[in-house]
Structure 1
Amino acid sequence: MEMEISHPLLLVSLLLPFSWLLVRLLSASPRERSSGHGRRIPSPPALPVLGHLHLLKPPLHRCLAALATRYGAGAGLLHLRFGAKPVVLVTSLAVAGETAPAIGMCNYGPLWRQLRRLATVHALCAHRLGATAAARDAEARAMAARLWRAGPGVVAVKSTAYQFVANVIMAMVAGRRMSEEQVLGFKAMTEAGLAAAGAANRHDSLPVLRLLDFGRTRRRLAGLAKARRQFGQSILDDYRWRHPRGADDAKEETASRTVIGDLLRSPEALDDVVMSSVCLSLLQAGTDTSSSTIEWAMALLLNNPEVLRKAAAEIRSAVGASRLLQESDLAGLPYLRCVITETLRLKPLAPNHIPHEASRDCVVAGYAVARGTMVLVDVYSVQRDPDVWEEPARFMPERFMDGGGEVGGESRWMMPFGMGRRRCPGEGLALRTVGVALGGHGAVL
């Protein structure tokens, strides 16, 4: 007698165990499939296919920190699975330092080296930063004047700081300022790029989403790349229009020279693609991060009146009441520098560093990390480690003052600008820009 399977529920019940086993095998991480050397990294319970995606909630950095505290305390590492992608979250400074030489990061090709070298030599080295201080001082005075004219009431610190930083970097790049409309357009383009990149990352975690997307994200990224190229080309075209006889005079003082002028004079015969990439990298990497730090610093100062009084007293003592703070005054303001450092500790520029990938099987801090695993350094957790920091959630700039009144002490445990070869080359520019901006805001307040 033949048995027919006619009921859909009966068919599903027979196929479900096989389907679950197949999904489990396909979605298992390389760490789970390989026997490798070293201990297994602590990990929360995972779901088939999704892995740990169901545990992620905004804000992501706080969510990851909570997971690390609950499941990976003491290990300095936490294993997660974002859909099909295995991830190792690094939550300890000691382990983060060990991953730099142990894990092969993304390709350091000739283009990456060229862009980094050009940006450093022509904009970010100490000599050029010192020579362009007057431009930052001028922008700080303009920002303070706008705040003063606005009078009492609500101040849009974020937008004011964003325009200030954008014009500081544009002055270095092209020797001009951006209009408010240009700043808003640049900000919208940058935010759209970040949103599109996030959608692409979701497709990497769950490849099935790529099939359901029907190429929309790819077309969106292509459109944003075109808009970015056009914006960069417009900066070069505008510079050439303002300098019809070519680059800045080579005999001009360094302070009046620009990044574009130096690139045009370069013996490397750089094309417009490379030059616009350098300019856009400086603008996009520096504007949002520095303006966010300025905003957070102001919020923390206003919510900690005693710290604000100490910073204001230091500025009055060193600068006086007859003028605004200048960049040359920053070296004599150790407490203000501690305020900036403490802000970067509590509110790092990037709570999670740019993800990298292990290029080979390796062992980190005694734990096995398989080839192909995404390595994500959790700066937020590292800089709030209770084993390192006293009262880690408290805004306390004094923690960075040593006995002689100089900045030191626990600053060696900081990593807001990254580490290793990928450490942000704009650290010096960011600290100078934030310092001048806080001095200008403080004077108005």
Structure 2
Amino acid sequence: MYTDSALAAAVLAVAWVMLLFIVKKSYSRSKNIPALPPGPRGWPLVGNLLSLDPELHTYLATLAQKYGPIYKLKLGRKTGIVISSPSIAKEVLKDQDTTFANRDVPVAGKEAFYGGVNIVWNPYGAEWRMLRKVAVREMLGGATLDSMYTLRRRELRRTVRYLYGKAGSPVDVGEQMFVTVLNVITSMLWGGTVVAAAGDGGGGGRLGMEFKELLGEMTELMGVPNISDFYPGLERFDLQGIGKKMQRLARRFDRIFETIIHQRLKMNAEDKVNESKEDFLQFLLQMKEDGGDAKTPFNKSHLKALLMDMVVGGTETTANMVEYALSEMMNKPEILIKAQNELETIVGKDNIVEESHMKKLPYLHTVMKEVLRLHPALPLLVPHCPSATCNVAGYTIPKGARIFVNVWAIHRDPSVWENPLDFRPERFSDGEWDYSGNDFNYFPFGSGRRMCAAVGMAERMFMYSLASLVHSFDWSLCVGDNLDLSEKYGIVMKKRVPLVAIPTPRLSNPGLYE
């Protein structure tokens, strides 16, 4: 018979053996699971949040020099993974595209886009596929873009006339291009007759200024680190007030959309739509009435979220890139002169630029590609999120991590690009590089399932706008001004100092500016 002390000793011995077995088994299992990527040490609870720099793209590129092409950041309760190498970007965006096709939706994105039911933030699945298919087929496809050429031409001619009237005076180039692009997009979305009904004569001016103000605030909020995103349990407290601020902006957008929808429904009831029947809004209203497709419902929130996608995704990005292109060309006058000489050869100084000329302007195409290399519109793309724990580059990437692909850093990698900080369009003259997303040394529009759906529209607006600006005018800075090419980080890249320049007409006939 065991004594109490002997029994206790036996129990302890068995427990000790079991503990050793469990620890050994756990250790041997852990040896088979790759570690997370390396990364900087963080503080308890907050991780690396306190060390983040406002210029996030350059800060992350600097960390990559120390921790390698893939590393982790602890962002509160979330894990961030930063990728700065073409080969690892390929693993994420192509080889394991389906796993990484989801998003870690920020609070600001939910508030701005009707709960995140838009193309950008919707999780990968049937609803996302339906929305993207609708946008590409009815708004962004080649045939639709071809049919909308007259809208682009009308707005570019209006811009040229405006700049001609400002000859010899300073002009905020980015602001003017924003209004131009916005007018094109809103005309494609809901047609000139509805804009005219809003009381601005069909040009979108009054609505344009309101949209510009709202979009500036909205994209700024989207780029602000939010405690609620890194500590989901604190989301309901909205400690920084970002949720409430975005709700306020979203309500103003929603009022605009509701007004436009109400006007269109009224016109439909009175059978006064006429030429606007084929626009995007008309199609979406019919789709809403039909309830969606055979597999996926479509409601008013989807409709307004798609309108928001087009307005937010297409205006600031294109306008900023045109502004940067003209800035870089002014900084290197020989590039501007070369582009103008090409336009003179193809178009002539006694003619205006037409979109049909664009395919005959190879040098201007290289300028566009070089701008997109040096100043990609979304320097970190839109962060991806794996739907399951997986292995990338030999490291474990946990489910739900926030994946930052630093395309800005990849486009400046000296092992890929000769003199990467120089603005040199000639590097694209051999036609080797494109932005189809298949070459992971150069992918300004992303790659894979989540690649930007509006590449065709962005290319047309960029080329036509830039060609019109440099063919119609010479450009100079105000006396005493210096050209500042520095960047300001945001979910959409901006020039830190707006380009304010003086246009001087260069065409032979004043009538070409009418």
Q: Does residue 1:77 correspond to 2:70, yes or no?
A: yes
Q: For the Cα contact (< 8 Å) 2:38–2:72, is it kept in 1?
A: yes
Deviations 1:391-413 (A, max 9, x none): 111111111111xxxx3347643
Structure 1, unpaired ranges of 5+:
1-33
1:371 to 373, 378, 399: 399
1:259 partner amino acid: F
Please give the residue correspondences for 1:169-208 in structure 2 after superposition, counting only pairs within 5 Å. 169-176=185-192, 177-198=202-223, 201-206=226-231
1:340 partner amino acid: M
Query: Take 2:413 and 2:242, find their aligned partners in 1: how far apart are those partners?
Result: 38
Please give the residue correspondences for 1:71-150 in structure 2 after superposition, counting only pairs within 5 Å. 71-72=67-68, 76-100=69-93, 101-102=95-96, 103-106=99-102, 107-150=123-166
2:290 partner amino acid: E
Query: Take 2:164 and 2:138, find their aligned partners in 1: how far apart are those partners?
Result: 34
| Superposed displacement of residue 224, structure 1 | 3.3
Q: Identify the residue that residue 332 of structure 1 maps to in structure 2.
A: 360
**Residues 363/393 of structure 1: CA separation in 2 closer, same or farther (3 Å cut):** same
Q: Does residue 1:352 correspond to 2:362, yes or no?
A: no
Deviations 1:8-44 (A, max 9, x none): xxxxxxxxxxxxxxxxxxxxxxxxxx76623542312
**Residues 310/345 of structure 1: CA separation in 2 closer, same or farther (3 Å cut):** same
| Superposed displacement of residue 440, structure 1 | 1.4
Q: Does residue 1:428 correspond to 2:456, yes or no?
A: yes
Please give the residue correspondences for 1:253-272 in structure 2 after superposition, counting only pairs within 5 Å. 257-266=278-287, 268-269=290-291, 271-272=299-300
Q: Identify the residue that residue 390 of structure 1 maps to in structure 2.
A: 418
Q: For the Cα contact (< 8 Å) 1:124–1:425, is it kept in 2?
A: yes
| Superposed displacement of residue 183, structure 1 | 1.6
Q: Bigger shift: 154-163 or 41-50? A: 41-50
Aligned residues: 402
Q: Does residue 1:236 correspond to 2:272, yes or no?
A: no
| Superposed displacement of residue 212, structure 1 | 6.5
2:400 partner amino acid: G
Query: Take 2:278 and 2:101, find their aligned partners in 1: how far apart are those partners?
Result: 35
Q: Identify the residue that residue 45 of structure 1 maps to in structure 2.
A: 41
Query: Take 1:328 and 1:155, find their aligned partners in 2: how far apart are those partners?
Result: 28
Q: Does residue 1:220 correspond to 2:242, yes or no?
A: no
Deviations 1:357-396 (A, max 9, x none): 2222211112221222211111101111111111111111
Deviations 1:54-79 (A, max 9, x none): 3321221111111112322xxx2121
| Superposed displacement of residue 175, structure 1 | 1.6
What is the Cα-based RMSD across aligned positions, in Å?
A: 2.6
Q: Identify the residue that residue 10 of structure 1 maps to in structure 2.
A: none
1:268 partner amino acid: D
Deviations 1:273-328 (A, max 9, x none): 43333222211110011111111111111101111111111111111112221111
- TM-score of the two chains, using structure 2 as the length reference: 0.72
Q: For the Cα contact (< 8 Å) 1:118–1:278, is it kept in 2?
A: no
Q: For the Cα contact (< 8 Å) 1:77–1:89, is it kept in 2?
A: yes
1:70 partner amino acid: K
**Residues 210/199 of structure 1: CA separation in 2 closer, same or farther (3 Å cut):** farther
**Residues 179/172 of structure 1: CA separation in 2 closer, same or farther (3 Å cut):** closer
**Residues 333/71 of structure 1: CA separation in 2 closer, same or farther (3 Å cut):** same
Q: Identify the residue that residue 56 of structure 2 maps to in structure 1.
A: 60
1:162 to 178, 188, 200: 178
2:315 to 260, 272, 287: 287
The structure where helix makes up a greater share of residues is: 1
Q: Identify the residue that residue 18 of structure 1 maps to in structure 2.
A: none
Q: Bigger shift: 113-122 or 343-352? A: 113-122
**Residues 440/242 of structure 1: CA separation in 2 closer, same or farther (3 Å cut):** farther
Secondary structure at the residue paired with 1:324? coil
1:310 to 338, 356, 362: 338
1:263 partner amino acid: L
Query: Take 2:100 and 2:378, find their aligned partners in 1: how far apart are those partners?
Result: 21
Structure possessing the higher radius of gyration over alpha carbons: 2
Secondary structure at the residue paired with 1:421? helix
Identity of aligned residues (%): 30
Q: Identify the residue that residue 408 of structure 1 maps to in structure 2.
A: 432
Secondary structure at the residue paired with 2:404? strand
Q: Identify the residue that residue 389 of structure 2 maps to in structure 1.
A: 361
Q: Bigger shift: 285-294 or 134-143? A: 134-143
Query: Take 2:272 and 2:281, find their aligned partners in 1: how far apart are those partners?
Result: 8
1:170 partner amino acid: T
Query: Take 1:124 and 1:308, find their aligned partners in 2: how far apart are those partners?
Result: 30
Q: Identify the residue that residue 473 of structure 2 maps to in structure 1.
A: 444
Q: For the Cα contact (< 8 Å) 1:248–1:257, is it kept in 2?
A: no
2:43 partner amino acid: L
Structure 2, unpaired ranges of 5+:
1-29, 103-122, 193-201, 293-298, 475-514
Secondary structure at the residue paired with 2:80? strand
Query: Take 1:91 and 1:369, find their aligned partners in 2: how far apart are those partners?
Result: 15
**Residues 90/246 of structure 1: CA separation in 2 closer, same or farther (3 Å cut):** farther
1:258 partner amino acid: D
Q: For the Cα contact (< 8 Å) 1:352–1:379, is it kept in 2?
A: yes
Query: Take 2:133 and 2:232, find their aligned partners in 1: how far apart are those partners?
Result: 36
Q: For the Cα contact (< 8 Å) 1:105–1:357, is it kept in 2?
A: yes
Q: Bigger shift: 318-327 or 37-46? A: 37-46
Q: Bigger shift: 259-268 or 108-117? A: 259-268
Q: For the Cα contact (< 8 Å) 1:77–1:88, is it kept in 2?
A: yes
Query: Take 2:260 and 2:378, find their aligned partners in 1: how far apart are those partners?
Result: 27
Q: Identify the residue that residue 7 of structure 1 maps to in structure 2.
A: none
Q: For the Cα contact (< 8 Å) 1:248–1:261, is it kept in 2?
A: no
Q: For the Cα contact (< 8 Å) 1:247–1:262, is it kept in 2?
A: no
Secondary structure at the residue paired with 2:226? helix
